[in-house]
Chain A
Amino acid sequence: MADEMKMGTYICTGCGIGDRLDASQMEMIATREGKATYAKTHDFLCSQAGVDMIQADIDAGEVSNAVIAACSRRAKNEAFNFQDIAVSRANLREGVIWVRPDTDEARETTQEMADDYIRMACFEAKHMHAPKPSDEQSLNKHLLVVGGGITGMTAALEAAKAGYPATIVEKTGQLGGMAGRLAKKIPTRSPYANPAETEVADLIAEIEANSNVTVCLNSTVAKTEGAPGRFDVEIATESGSTSTIQVGAVIQASGFKPYDANQLPEFAYGKTPDVVTQAELEDLVKAANGDAVKRPSDGKEISEVVFVQCAGQRSDKEGHLSYCSGFCCNASIKQAMYFKDANAGIDTTVIFTDLRTPGSGGEDFYRSGQQKGVVFTKGVVSEVEPGSDGHTVKFKDLILDEDTAIQADLVVLATGMLPNSGVDPYAAEKAAAAEEEEGEEADKGDVVATVDVESILNLDYRQGSDVPQLVHGFTDSHFICFPYETRRTGIYTAGPVRRPMDIAQAREDATGAAMKAIHAVENAGKGRAAHPRSGDLSYPTFRKEGCTQCKRCTVECPFGAINEDEERYPTFNESRCRRCGTCMGACPVRVISFENYSVDTVGAQIKNVDMPDEFDEKPRILVLACENDAYPALDMAGQNHIEYSAFVRVIPVRCLGSVNTIWVTDALNSGYDGVILMGCQKGDDYQCHFVKGSELAHTRMSKIDDTLQQLNLETERVMTYEVAITDVQRAPKLINEMAETIEKIGMSPFKF
């Protein structure tokens, strides 16, 4: 940093801080020990007057790095929102006075706590720089849409309508995808009574008329390089020619493949042409071109149609899908209506276990089906027995509790959808983990779409060619609050590749994904992070001289943001990066850092607490807490005046994944008696918003026991916990338990 650093410390004495703590002592510590240029006290720092005081110093060039010693960094952000300077916050309210009793005997240790937080904030500020956008950014409003089905077409059109041009790459010779195969669709508008036009033709016409949408048919994506704002996409046509376009973001709308009904011999699929899938019935209806659909085997009039729901779905049987495809109940009602609307005399029976027609439209459509005379029978079909004139569908009627059978001219199997999601970058890893867990048991019933897996995006990423998959091959993020977040920044998946869905949902999904893609290009253009640290301008850099090319950062980055160059040095792609710092935590030689978050900003805090000697009976406990969950939980403990040990010093971290083990060993070496890491839930239902951070931290910490033993320290001194934001009572308890443990096992011998 060329500019000279000027550090100002501002101490608030409001909210009882002044009554409980010695502010002048804190001022002295800030200037003497924290090396602040000056320290000022205000009795209401977040007031306009207080803020003006700080702003005046900034405007006068008096301060480049500020310490705000007041309430939690989560409070009063609107007031303490200063541009272009580095700010560290010492949490004297929620983190000190609110968690300590207001008693004479507590006064000394409470003051020590506050003093340490002043020191820590000063040293953090000292190592921070105000982040500035890098030069990598550029605004490219062009979007790539992979897949020309209803999802892809909708995404491209909706983006174009907002002024973002889109290029659709479609593998086949025409737009429309699976929806193009349908005769009609499930209605998407009130009164939800009849099958509706698919609107595929209208969409195609709209696309052809829109100069902002380019369509590449018979094309695939041969290569995707770069990062949000600067993707280079190589498009290959069937004829072998290639072209390259630059896009800002990617929407993957690669759709689904229908389940292979040949795996259902029990339903006589393949044994008679009169047993068809829902998709095949659409073909028959389309081919009949308005005339009655005839029995495929002999062209006879159809008088009885039976729909078998959940065919090869919701089942643990080998080769079956364990999940529900969601659309099929409504689809069968729609198809039964094809027959009923043409000739009310045709009997149509839907055999189901749970009729799943949710929402406002679903229930209406179900009722409309009943109104038209579609018969719904709760039952489980065991077998379809082909006959020469009609077939026998054997089933258990669950209401009448009996095994029975029904005759059918045509049997329609409601088979499910398989995501067309490409190659899972972590398939091998997952398989290994599953095997380790419990042989084949672990993965039972989870037949992922292993049907001729071809890459969709051909990403030129260190971590695989496609977007990571969650379960069953779907690319869903598993974040309830943030459904679009894939693990590849600037690439959003939409439609049935993300999770099973019908046309109505796919069109919503496509529009949402287009929004996210636009969000991504706009933020990439400004050098800002996308989700979840939206707006963050900091990004990782590394000191090449120190790098040993160990590749840990490139392997562990949960978002595949880091590639390797020819010499195997990491190349950081800023706009792919989510700024979690997992790379920083992974680096064994500590060469990776952010402007305002680094091994030093945290390391210096750890080292600069005042460490009482062994005989003082004042242990020190370091807590590294995830800033999104554990830290707020501790804040709320403060809000509720839940007490915890005065011996603790809490440092928020961006993610537990960013915790470098050096911090833990440094802490132990400098005399801390205990260290607690608090991160989010890991595993299948991970709550870590950087997906892998917490898990990686747990793995890293599992190896720290060796270090502890080498140092001759008890392993109980370092604990790693999963702490949720709601653990307002538990988090303080964990701290107090550590204090008790230390009382039991004694102080660390590493005090100076």
Chain B
Amino acid sequence: MTDIVATNQTILVVGGGISGITAALEAAETGKDVVLVEKRPFIGGRITQLYKYFPKLCFPTCGLEINQRRMKANANLSIVTMAEVTDIAGSTGDYTAIIKISPRYVNENCTGCGACADAVEAEFDNEFNYDMDKRKGAYLPYNMAHPQRYVLDPRVIGTADADKAKEACKYGAIDLDMQEETIELKAGAVVWATGWRPYDAGKIQPYGYDRIDNVITSVELERMMDPFGPTGGKLVRPSDGKEAKNVAFIQCAGSRDRNHLRHCSRICCMASLKQSTYIREKYSDDGQVTIYYIDIRAIDRFEDFYKKVQDDPKVKFVKSKVAKIEEDKASGNPVCHGVDTEGYNRYAEAHDLVVLAVGMEPSVDKDNFPVDIVINQDGFIEPDDANGGIFAAGSASDALDVNRAVQHATASALRAIQIVNRVAGTEG
């Protein structure tokens, strides 16, 4: 870690999701020195936890494979995982960032053979699958994790499992003495790409996410569809494992709501339209989907996709914000109550499963941001001259879908290059 050489011509990218990756690669491939700092043990961010992208219904790991290959091939780019920026001092063209690196307990020797995982017995909630299943105390976060290096859960350190892992590794890759490290990096410009987190559905009291088993979130559904996910790719109900054929989607679960997130999260309409195809993919004509919405925001070309789903007789659209969900104790069915506002019809619809299209909450720590920056009331970073050489990229700047996040991150890379080129005196 400590061998990273950074100068005030280096671009520091904070966050290794699709936006951070894009900004880092565009800059590095243009010849700039880039350091990418990622909090999790692997890069890729939220997209690694998605089953498919809208509107193409293609797989996020496909583009990620290209990006990971680009990263492996690029000597200008250094990646630091399990790291967080705790402080940034200085000004445009001359920043010093303090980075806290948590111990992985596995060093570069790791070959990814998996012997440590076989040896360790302790299991923990699997955050990659939103705690819907368990993973080992020594683990590779997911199949395509890059760096392809195992991680030891800090909770096994000091237990017999830790020694078992160490013993199992023939390559001296397990280092139980690894300590938290703090490093200082110079940078001319910073790209802030810390992305988003799903809104805490438990806060939406009437929807009973924390009380009703068969009420799940949209991000959980993505994990369930993955053959390597918590249900092995089966679309079943958490309560009883029964096939979930009649599925409801509740839009604006936490978005466009002054009690929760004031902003429209932009992605959720398309996400639910996309997910409605999952139900049809799994159960074809036995699948039945109801989408409860306020406005379907399938903007620009996405309209084509919306139309395709609308034409599906098995998908019903109800203009209504569901008032509450109650559980039918006998069947475990969640029952949605509300009013179809188009013509005033009350409903009490039972479904096998209800999916809350949860909103996007920016992962921008408003109260504890490492440097002075302009943050708007929704928690997103505003573009402002006062931000100096610090530029938001992707969903740190607004609720964006992947395509627009990449577009935005590409622009942010140029903004950072403008600064470091000015430092280098090559801006002409």
* Contact in complex: A515, B63 (CB < 8 Å): no
A357-B73 Cα distance, complex, nearest whole Å? 41
Q: Could you tell me the distance in whole angstroms from the C-beta of B195 to the nearest C-beta in chain A?
A: 15
Contact yes or no, A481 B428, CB < 8 A = no
B227/A478 in contact, CB under 8 A: no
Q: Is the CB of A518 within 8 A of B266?
A: no
Interface: A509 (CB within 8 A) = yes
Indicate if B205 sits at the interface (CB-CB under 8 A).
no
Tell me if B352 counts as interface (CB < 8 A to partner A): no
Within the complex, the shortest CB–CB distance from B26 to chain A, in Å, comes to 5
Does any Cβ of B come within 8 Å of A314's Cβ?
yes
Pick the interface stretch among B128-136, B207-215, B372-380: B372-380
Chain A 150-177 per-residue mask, 1 if CB under 8 angstroms from chain B, else 0: 0000000011111111000000000000
Structural contact, B72 and A78, CB atoms closer than 8 A: yes
Q: Please indicate which of the listed interface residues A323, A474, A726 has the most CB atoms of chain B within 10 Å of its own CB.
A: A726
Residues on A with C-beta less than 8 A from B403 are: 480, 483
Q: Among B18, B73, B114, B383, which residue has its beta carbon within 8 angstroms of that of A535?
A: B73
Contact string, B374-393, partner A, CB cutoff 8 A, digits 1/0? 00111010110000000000
Chain A residues with CB under 8 Å of B413's CB are 515
Q: Does B285 contact A (CB under 8 A)?
A: no
Binary contact track B123-150/A, C-beta < 8 Å → 1, others 0 = 0000000000000000000011000100
Question: How far does the Cβ of A490 sit from chain B's closest Cβ, in whole Å?
Answer: 14
B59 interface neighbour in A514, A726, A729, Cβ under 8 Å: A726
Residues of chain A from 506 to 530 with CB closer than 8 A to chain B in the complex:
508-512, 514-516, 518-519, 522-523
Chain B nearest CB from A242 CB (Å) reads: 27
Is A190 an interface position by the 8 A CB rule? yes
Whether B300 and A325, one on each chain, are in contact in the complex, defined by CB atoms closer than 8 angstroms, is yes
Complex Cα distance, B67 from A639, in Å, reads 20
* A518–B30 CB distance below 8 A: yes
Residues of A near B114 (CB, < 8 A) are 639
User: Which residues between 380 and 428 of chain B lie within 8 Å of chain A, taking CB atoms?
Assistant: 380, 382-383, 398-400, 402-404, 406-411, 413-415, 417-418, 421, 426-428
Number of interface residues of B (CB under 8 A): 85
Cross-chain contact of B62 among A15, A358, A512, A628 (Cβ < 8 A): A628
Bound Cα distance A414, B413 (Å): 35
**Residue pair A360, B376 in contact (C-beta under 8 Å):** yes
Question: A681 near B: Cβ within 8 Å?
Answer: yes
Q: How far is the CA of A509 from the CA of B60 in the complex (A)?
A: 22
Which B-chain residue is minimally distant from A417 (CB atoms)? Answer: B300
Please determine whether A640 and B410 come into contact, CB atoms closer than 8 angstroms. no
- Does B329 have its Cβ within 8 Å of any Cβ on chain A? no
CB-based contact B417/A725 at 8 Å:
no
Bound-complex Cα distance A46 to B299 (A): 49
B342 in complex: contacting residue of A47, A357, A401, A515, CB < 8 Å = A401
Residue B283 at the chain A interface, CB threshold 8 Å: no
A725 x B301 contact (CB < 8 A): no
Chain A 53-111 interface residues, beta-carbon cutoff 8 Å to B? 71, 74-78
Binds B, one of A361-369, A601-609, A610-618, A742-750: A361-369
A728 at the interface (CB under 8 A from B): yes
B6 within 8 A of A: no
Name the B residues within 8 Å of A47 (CB-CB): 109, 171
**Given A535-B29, A726-B59, also A322-B408 (CB < 8 A):** no
B411 to A636, Cβ gap below 8 A?
no
- Expressed in whole angstroms, the Cα–Cα distance for A681 and B52 within the complex equals 14
Q: Does the CB pair A363–B263 fall under 8 Å?
A: yes
The reply to whether the CB of B297 lies closer than 8 angstroms to some CB of chain A is yes
Distance in angstroms between the alpha carbons of A534 and B76 in the assembled complex: 13
Supposing A361-B398, A724-B59, A726-B61 touch, asked if A640 and B171 sit within 8 A by C-beta, the answer is no
Check A579 for interface membership: any CB of B closer than 8 A: no
Say yes or no: A480 contacts B63, CB within 8 Å: yes
C-alpha spacing A482/B407, complex, angstroms: 8
Known: A323-B304, A360-B376, A472-B301. A482 touches B63 (CB 8 A): yes
Q: Which of B226, B307, B380, B427 contacts A360 (CB 8 A)?
A: B380
Answer whether residue A479 sits at the interface, using C-beta atoms and an 8 A cutoff: yes
Q: Which A residues are CB-close (under 8 A) to B263?
A: 359-360, 362-364
Q: Is A363's CB under 8 angstroms from B61's CB?
A: no
B17-67 residues at the A interface, CB under 8 angstroms: 18, 25-26, 29-31, 53, 56-67
Size of interface on A: residues with Cβ below 8 Å to B:
93
A629 within 8 A of B: yes
- Residue from B61, B378, B407 within 8 A of A725 (CB atoms): B61
Complex Cα distance A522/B31, Å? 8
Shortest CB-to-CB span from B228 to chain A, Å, is 7
Given contacts A158-B418, A358-B264, contact A76 B398 (CB under 8 A): no
Contact A324 B30 (CB under 8 A): no
**Chain B positions 47-98 with a Cβ under 8 Å from a chain A Cβ:** 53, 56-67, 69-70, 72-74
> Would A519 and B170 count as touching, CB distance under 8 A?
no
B167 at the interface (CB under 8 A from A): no
Q: How far is the CA of A635 from the CA of B302 in the complex (A)?
A: 34
- Are A687 and B301 interface neighbours, CB within 8 A? no
Binds B, one of A287-295, A497-505, A542-550: A497-505
Q: A523 — which chain B residues lie within 8 A by C-beta?
A: 29-30
CB-CB under 8 A from A434, the residues of chain B are none
Q: In whole Å, how far is B139's beta carbon from the nearest beta carbon of chain A?
A: 13
The interface residues of chain A lying within 8 Å CB-to-CB of B380 are: 360
Residues of A within 8 A of B206 (CB): none
Provided the pairs A14-B170, A324-B303, A474-B301 are in contact, do residues A515 and B417 lie with their beta carbons within 8 angstroms?
Answer: yes
Closest to A479 in B: B63
Check A629/B297 contact, CB under 8 A, given A71-B111, A162-B418. Answer: no
A38 interfacial contact with B, CB 8 Å: no
- Residues of A within 8 Å of B303, CB to CB, are 314, 322-324
Complex contacts, B399 vs chain A, CB 8 Å? 358-360
The chain B residue with its CB closest to the CB of A632 is B65
User: In the complex the two chains form, what is the Cα distance from A511 to B400 in whole Å?
Assistant: 17
Interface string of A272-316 (1 = CB under 8 A from B): 000000000000000000000000000000000000000000100
Choose one: B62, B63, B143, B383; the contact of A639 (CB below 8 Å): B143
In the complex, chain A residues whose CB is within 8 Å of the CB of B299: 324, 326, 356, 358, 500
Q: Within the assembled complex, what's the spacing in Å between the Cα atoms of A163 and B425?
A: 9
- The interface residues of chain B lying within 8 Å CB-to-CB of A532 are 66, 70
The distance in angstroms between the C-alpha atoms of A14 and B111, with both chains bound, is 9
A212 contacts B by Cβ under 8 Å: yes
> Is B296 on the interface with A (CB-CB < 8 A)?
yes
CB of A335 to closest CB in B, whole Å: 18
CB distance A401 to B427 under 8 Å? no
Least CB separation from B374: chain A residue: A190
- Out of B62, B262, B377, B398, name the residue touching A724 (CB < 8 Å): B62
Q: Flag A705-730 by CB within 8 Å of B: 1 or 0 each.
A: 00000000000000000001110110
Complex CA gap A744/B313 in Å reads: 42
Q: Which of B262-283 contact A (CB under 8 A)?
A: 262-264, 266
Which residues from 623 to 673 on chain A have a C-beta closer than 8 Å to any C-beta of chain B? 628-629, 632, 636, 639-640
B316 at the interface (CB under 8 A from A): no
Question: Taking the complex as formed, is A189 at the interface, i.e. its CB lies under 8 A from any CB of chain B?
Answer: yes
Measured CA separation A161–B421 after assembly (Å): 9
Look across to chain A and name the residue whose beta carbon is closest to the beta carbon of B341: A399
B171 near A14 (CB under 8 angstroms)? yes
Encode B296-324 as 1/0 by CB contact (under 8 A) with A.
11111111100100000000000100000
Asked whether, in the complex, the Cβ of B411 is within 8 Å of the Cβ of A515, the reply is yes
Q: Contacting B407 at CB < 8 Å: which of A362, A471, A483?
A: A483
Q: For the A-B complex with A399-B342, A483-B406, A515-B410 known, give 6 more contacts whose Cβ atoms are closer than 8 Å.
A: A77-B73, A163-B427, A472-B301, A523-B29, A640-B143, A724-B62
- 22 A–B contacts, CB within 8 A, in A order: A14-B171, A15-B111, A44-B170, A158-B414, A324-B298, A324-B302, A358-B264, A378-B319, A398-B343, A399-B341, A400-B343, A401-B342, A401-B344, A482-B63, A483-B407, A500-B300, A515-B410, A518-B417, A519-B30, A523-B29, A687-B59, A687-B62
- 4 residue pairs, one from A and one from B, having the closest CB atoms: A481-B63, A511-B411, A401-B343, A512-B410
